[in-house]
A and B are shown apart, each in its own frame.
Chain A
Amino acid sequence: MRNGLRVLRAERRWSQADLAGQLGVSRQTVNALETEKYDPSLPLAYKIARLFGRPIEEIFFDDEGAPGSATPVRAAAAGP
């Protein structure tokens, strides 16, 4: 799975530790999510979606075509 977590976090100027604190996970886990080495469980994905106030499919998406009508947060859109 791909995700736009890094972009969303950067928009809010949060550090990985800030985001980890709000999600109740370790900073290493946030890093693994952002580098797309690890896909979150559904409960954690919901928590992330709720925190950023966006539907899950806007934050997490695969490469298999467009994810419905949602506009995914893509890393390329906001730069590194």
Chain B
Amino acid sequence: MADMEMLTGRSYATRLMLWLALYAVLLFGSLGLIDRKLVGPLPLRVALGLSPMIAAFGILFLVMGRYRSADELQQRIMAESLMFAFGATAIITFSYGFLQRTAGAPELSYFWVWPVMGSAWFVGAVIARRRFE
């Protein structure tokens, strides 16, 4: 089982790397085409601009598959860490929204939401894992 576990982990990492590579190709490919004005019509620019999300969906289903194949304790740790990330992201983004209204905090890109949530997920995983060690 230890070997199987490692293989599963390795195969997950390999698939994640492949999806991330596809994400990078689609991201830089689409941005390159749009920046060089090689693509004109708006619908095509929309489609190209969203194309990296194909890989993002791949990663989403990969992570969901990993959750489903995990054992009950691992599922619990994942669920608790995601719950922490969910709440922390809500608190942080709402706090910033209020600061924009009340204290003139500058406009920020929506791209910041994921780094906030990802970081909170990591912190949540550390906290949840420690509970069962």
A11 shortest CB reach to chain B, Å:
20
Closest-by-CB residue of A relative to B129 is: A28
Using a CB–CB cutoff of 8 Å, the interface residues on chain B facing chain A are: 1-2, 4-5, 70-74, 76, 131-133
A24:B132 contact, CB within 8 angstroms: no
B5:A29 contact, CB within 8 angstroms: no
Q: What would 23 A/B residue contacts be, using CB atoms closer than 8 Å?
A: A17-B2, A20-B2, A21-B2, A24-B1, A24-B71, A25-B72, A26-B73, A26-B74, A27-B5, A28-B73, A28-B74, A28-B132, A29-B72, A29-B73, A29-B74, A31-B133, A32-B73, A32-B132, A32-B133, A37-B131, A37-B133, A38-B132, A40-B72
**Total interface residues on A, using CB and 8 Å?**
19
Closest-by-CB residue of A relative to B2 is: A17
The reply on A41 being an interface residue by CB < 8 A is: yes
CA–CA, A26 and B75, complex, Å:
11
Please give, as numbers and ranges, the residues of chain B lying within 8 Å of A25 by CB-CB distance: 1, 71-73
CA–CA, A25 and B5, complex, Å:
9
> A21 with B4: in contact, given A32-B132, A32-B133, A37-B132 (CB under 8 Å)?
yes
The residue among B73, B74, B76 with the most chain A CB atoms within 10 A of its own CB is B73
A26:B132 contact, CB within 8 angstroms: no
